[in-house]
């Protein structure tokens, strides 16, 4: 119910600090910083691309933190626990939804300026494809999504790693 006490607040603050440290490190080219992650890490990668305009490239596999209210209603992934909380505390629905809105990539996607590659498993029960697409469709930067029709929460697995490496090479090894 408090955005400053919410878990993702601390995760995202730490990730922003890590990006700042990376930019300041002598061995790192600050113009070629990429963010990558899967599931919660994929949601965090999208958020970092939106919140830190120095990010040059983003790859997000089966990203979480997308259309959180729908995930609560569907009880997908860890959001079933939020649904349980709200069932027992219906007076907290507005506060919980307000807090989650600060961390929902639906509300950050339009701020992404770097190229983005997203993977989605069309059979993913944890990060359902409609929630991933909801955020992806709001990205106005150059973007690409790779669907894995029978993929679940693996986002294409090893095959997708090859797709990501080609994406990174395309943008960083010109």
What is the four-CA torsion angle of 18, 102, 5, 114, rounded to 10 degrees? -10
The residue annotated as part of the active site, out of 104, 119, 124, 160, is 124
Active site residue 64: no
The residue annotated as part of the active site, out of 39, 64, 76, 119, is 39
* Whole-number Å distance between alpha carbons of 101 and 103: 5
With a CB cutoff of 8 Å and minimum separation 6, the contacts of 63 are 37, 38, 39, 42, 43, 45, 46, 105, 118, 127, 132, 135
Active site residue 29: no
* Whole-number Å distance between alpha carbons of 54 and 75: 35
Q: How far is CA 40 from CA 28, 91, 105, in A?
A: 25, 27, 11
Phi, psi values for residue 107, rounded to 5°: -90, -5
Active site residue 54: no
The residue annotated as part of the active site, out of 36, 74, 130, 153, is 153
* Whole-number Å distance between alpha carbons of 41 and 32: 19
Residues tagged active-site:
39, 124, 153
């Amino acid at each position: 119910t408090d955005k400053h006490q919410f878990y993702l607040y601390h995760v995202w603050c730490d990730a922003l600090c890590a990006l700042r440290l990376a930019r300041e490190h002598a061995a790192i080219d600050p113009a070629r910083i990429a963010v990558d992650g899967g599931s919660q890490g994929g949601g965090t990668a999208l958020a970092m691309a939106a919140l830190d305009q120095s990010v040059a490239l983003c790859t997000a596999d089966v990203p979480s933190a997308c259309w959180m209210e729908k995930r609560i209603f569907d009880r997908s992934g860890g959001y079933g626990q939020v649904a349980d909380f709200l069932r027992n505390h219906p007076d907290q629905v507005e506060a919980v939804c307000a807090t989650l809105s600060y961390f929902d990539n639906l509300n950050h996607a339009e701020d992404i300026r770097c190229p983005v590659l997203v993977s989605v498993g069309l059979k993913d029960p944890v990060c359902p494809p409609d929630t991933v697409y909801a955020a992806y469709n709001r990205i106005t930067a150059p973007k690409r999504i790779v669907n894995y029709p029978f993929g679940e929460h693996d986002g294409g697995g090893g095959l997708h790693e090859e797709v990501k490496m080609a994406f990174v090479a395309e943008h960083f090894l010109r």
